[in-house]
Amino acid sequence: MENKIVKRFVISKNGIDNKITCEFTNKKNEKFIYNQFTIYKQLKNKFDNMECFQKYKTYTNTNNLPKFVRELSSLV
């Protein structure tokens, strides 16, 4: 398992496969720690149906955690 400090929220096929835990601080200086595998496992159908995830095997959000992720019961 790997830990990374990232500049934006990201979920990628590589991050899921390697169960990477990320630390992300948004523009409001709110810090979030999340595990890509944990989030993907809960939202697999949503990510698999996104065009960007199908094409590039990644999903990013520059400014914040997406609302659908913030609503999850567990991020790590």
Identify whether 72 is part of a domain.
no
- Over range 4-29, report the average pLDDT: 95
Q: Is residue 68 part of a domain?
A: no
> What is the three-class DSSP state of 72?
coil
Across the chain, mean pLDDT equals 94
User: Is 1's pLDDT higher than 70?
Assistant: no
Show the domain range for 14.
3-62
List residues bridging with 43 in a β-sheet: none
The whole-model pTM stands at: 0.90
Residue 76 inside a domain? The answer is no
Q: Is residue 10 part of a domain?
A: yes
In a 3-state reduction of DSSP, which class is residue 49? coil
Domain count, the chain: 1
The answer, yes or no, to whether residue 29 has pLDDT greater than 90, is yes
